[in-house]
């Protein structure tokens, strides 16, 4: 199998990195195990593989974050022996089989030859990618539909508020699915391996009257696209730009005027005009972390609009800081920096919209920040590598309002109180925990549902990867384990309810890259937990976002 980037932007970054490495004369330390250098073609292929599958956890410069440091030389501060000391055979075994700490096995994604290339590649000094100036971003901004041609009402006659916007990872597309008719409306071109999709949400500070109409995607290649759900299928992609070479998240201001994109590399965030997609302002995220160390690769992870304030929350992964960025005056940008914990990743708001709950993965904590007072509210100790994804809030008979998370490093759902106003004694304390069969990535529920759903995607055993757990809110126990498939290499991932909460949609995706429509979404009755339908013909469907639920903060 060959791994390829699906967009020219990612390929351009790789080409620059390959050239820099080739001209740097990388030297290798003497080792007991003979090292076989990579030729130019091998280096390019290995760099592509690393970019797609490894950089997210280990960093472009391989200094580590959620994953361990993969620097060639030992690093005592990071408790790293160095990849050169581990050697090719040991690294091959780790890549193939995964680790108990939460790293997936990759023997079902990469061939033995590719695993060998990657093991040798990470023993080389990482090339430093280029910066990206505002001028280049503006050059890469395109209007696919003129503003004068934007429709004043939906052109397709469908219930667009019950659309599902679905990431099709492998082909660099987003599928628009009609939630009423269970059919694909369009496959929209986006950046490579879109990580997150956001729309203008209902906000107390004022929101666009057509909130939920425009959706903004962020690709792993930093390509940010704007999708118009009112357009005919062939014209839903209305504009695009590129704000980084490697990126993860995006958010829209509550008034619908601005969109913000966060870069993994270069380490910065960019504020753009939400109408035209023209980049307006670049802000570096480099700085001093909570340990007092300067961090060059300080990546921007999750970004969210604050429902009650004129600001975004921007999480600085390596700094261990939450930045509250006020967009009311972008020429005189106010940024409140809150020291929290490393390494910040995904999060969600409590039901009031005041408190933001985010996982500090490698610190094994859930961090809570108060967006009204712009300060750290609490830190909750959890098990290994909490990862709530878009999260879940519900009411518990004993603890009152609660939030919950799955974990990348252990099969467990942790639940804590999140209502300091009416349940002060339970607030920001663990209420209870539920064991599952394997480590998971996403947890989801709905106010009308009796159940909480959790996936187990990170477990190396296929039978566990392919099943989801359903937890009863009253009994706090797993009431059903649902296996979605037995296809080799496939896993069940990410749950989303439809608009009225009567259905739960779960993705089946192939962990290996594929340019064929090899995935599907399984639809369950939210009350009986029985399968009621499937949407097929999808390309590795991962995250799904129901328009009404996301716009109205339904968790």
159: Cα within 13 Å, side-chain hemisphere: 12
| pLDDT 10s digits, 385-394 | 999 999 999 9
Instruction: State residue 512's pLDDT score.
Output: 66
- Looking at the DSSP bridge assignments, the partners of residue 377 are none
Looking at residue 75, its pLDDT comes to: 81
Residue 353 φ/ψ region, left for φ over 0, alpha for ψ in the -120 to 50 degree band, beta for the rest: left
Pairing of strands 365-370, 375-381: antiparallel
Q: Which of 16-30, 33-47, 126-140, 159-173 has the lowest mean pLDDT?
A: 16-30
Lowest mean pLDDT among 72-81, 144-153, 287-296: 72-81
pLDDT, residue 210, reads: 83
For the record, the structure tokens of 161 come out as: 């508020």
Q: Is the pLDDT of residue 422 over 60?
A: yes
Q: Using DSSP bridges, classify how beta strands 246-252 and 258-265 pair: parallel, antiparallel or unpaired.
A: antiparallel
- Residue in the block written with tokens 């879940």: 392
Position 396 confidence tier, pLDDT thresholds 50, 70, 90: very high
Q: Comparing C-alpha atoms, which of 2, 65, 92 is closest to residue 359?
A: 65
Q: Which domains does the chain have, with CATH numbers?
A: 8-121 (1.10.760.10), 190-339 (2.130.10.10)
Average pLDDT, the chain: 90
Query: Once rounded to an integer, what is the mean pLDDT over residues 105-131?
Result: 90
Q: So which residues are the catalytic ones?
A: 54, 57-58, 103, 345, 387
Contact between residue 171 and residue 515 where contact means Cβ atoms under 8 Å apart: yes
Q: What is the C-alpha to C-alpha distance for residues 176 and 157, in angstroms, rounded to an integer?
A: 14
Place of tokens 């791994």: 3
505-529 mean pLDDT: 88
> Distance (Å, rounded) from C-alpha 25 to C-alpha 382?
44
Rounded Cα distance between 16 and 167, Å, is: 28
Q: How many CB atoms lie within 10 A of CB 100?
A: 10
**Separation CA 281–CA 380 (nearest Å):** 35
Over pLDDT 70: what percentage of the chain? 92
Per-residue confidence band for 333, with pLDDT thresholds at 50, 70 and 90: very high
pLDDT over 90 percentage in the chain: 75
Q: Is the pLDDT of residue 367 over 80?
A: yes
Q: Specify the pLDDT at position 22.
A: 39
Q: Is the dihedral of CA 429, 431, 434, 435 positive or negative?
A: positive
Q: What mean pLDDT is predicted for residues 157-185? A: 96
Pair 349, 390: CB distance under 8 Å: no
Length of the chain counted residue by residue? 555
pLDDT at site 460? 85
Whole-number CA gyration radius for the chain = 22
DSSP 41-71: HHHHHHHHHHHHHTHHHH-TT---SSSPP--
C-beta of residue 352 within 8 angstroms of C-beta of residue 361: no
- Sole residue written with tokens 């060639």: 72
How far is it, in rounded angstroms, from Cα 199 to Cα 110? 35
pTM across the whole model: 0.87
């Amino acid at each position: 199998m060959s791994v390829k980037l699906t967009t020219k932007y990612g390929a351009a970054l790789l080409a620059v990195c390959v050239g820099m490495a080739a001209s740097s004369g990388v030297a290798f330390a003497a080792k007991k195990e003979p090292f076989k250098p990579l030729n130019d073609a091998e280096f390019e292929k290995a760099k592509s593989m690393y970019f797609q599958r490894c950089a997210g956890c280990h960093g472009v410069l391989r200094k580590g974050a959620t994953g361990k440091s993969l620097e060639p030389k030992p690093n005592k501060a990071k408790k790293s022996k160095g990849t050169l000391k581990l050697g090719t055979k040991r690294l091959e075994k780790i890549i193939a089989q995964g680790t108990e700490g939460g790293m997936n096995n990759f023997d079902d994604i990469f061939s033995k030859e590719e695993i060998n290339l990657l093991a040798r590649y990470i023993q080389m000094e990482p090339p430093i990618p280029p910066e990206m100036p505002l001028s280049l971003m503006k050059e890469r901004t395109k209007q696919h539909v003129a503003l004068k041609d934007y429709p004043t009402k939906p052109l397709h006659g469908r219930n667009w508020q019950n659309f599902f916007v679905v990431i099709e990872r492998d082909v660099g597309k987003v599928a628009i699915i009609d939630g009423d008719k269970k059919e694909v409306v369009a496959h929209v071109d986006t950046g490579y391996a879109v990580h997150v999709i956001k729309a203008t949400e209902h906000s107390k500070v004022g929101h666009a009257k057509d909130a939920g109409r425009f959706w903004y995607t962020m690709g792993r290649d930093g390509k940010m696209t704007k999708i118009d759900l009112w357009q005919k299928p062939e014209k839903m992609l209305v504009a695009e730009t590129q704000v980084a070479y490697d990126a993860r998240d995006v958010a829209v201001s509550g008034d619908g005027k601005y969109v913000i994109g966060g870069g993994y590399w270069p380490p910065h965030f960019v504020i753009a005009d939400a109408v035209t997609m023209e980049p307006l302002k670049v802000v570096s995220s480099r700085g001093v972390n909570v340990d007092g160390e300067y961090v060059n690769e300080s990546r921007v992870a999750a970004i969210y609009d604050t429902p009650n304030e004129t600001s975004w929350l921007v999480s600085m992964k390596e700094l261990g800081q939450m930045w509250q960025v006020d967009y009311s005056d972008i020429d005189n940008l106010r940024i409140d920096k809150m020291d929290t914990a490393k390494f910040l990743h995904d999060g969600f708001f409590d039901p009031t919209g005041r408190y933001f709950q985010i996982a500090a993965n490698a610190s094994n904590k859930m961090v809570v920040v108060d967006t009204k007072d712009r300060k750290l509210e609490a830190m909750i100790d959890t098990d290994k590598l909490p990862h709530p994804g878009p999260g879940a809030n519900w009411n518990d008979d004993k603890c009152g309002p609660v939030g919950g998370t799955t974990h990348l490093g252990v099969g467990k759902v942790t639940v804590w109180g999140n209502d300091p106003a009416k349940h002060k004694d339970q607030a920001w304390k663990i209420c209870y925990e539920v064991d599952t069969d394997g480590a998971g990535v996403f947890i989801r529920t709905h106010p009308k549902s009796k159940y909480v759903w959790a996936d187990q995607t990170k477990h190396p055993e296929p039978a566990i990867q392919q099943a989801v757990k359903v937890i009863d809110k009253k009994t706090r126990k797993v009431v059903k384990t649902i296996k979605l498939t037995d296809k080799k290499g496939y896993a069940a991932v990410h749950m989303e309810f439809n608009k009225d909460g009567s259905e739960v949609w779960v993705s089946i995706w192939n962990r290996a890259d594929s340019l064929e429509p090899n995935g599907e979404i399984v639809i369950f009755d939210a009350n009986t937990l029985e399968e009621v339908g499937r949407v097929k013909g999808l390309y590795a469907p991962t995250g799904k976002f129901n328009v009404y639920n996301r716009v109205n903060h339904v968790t």
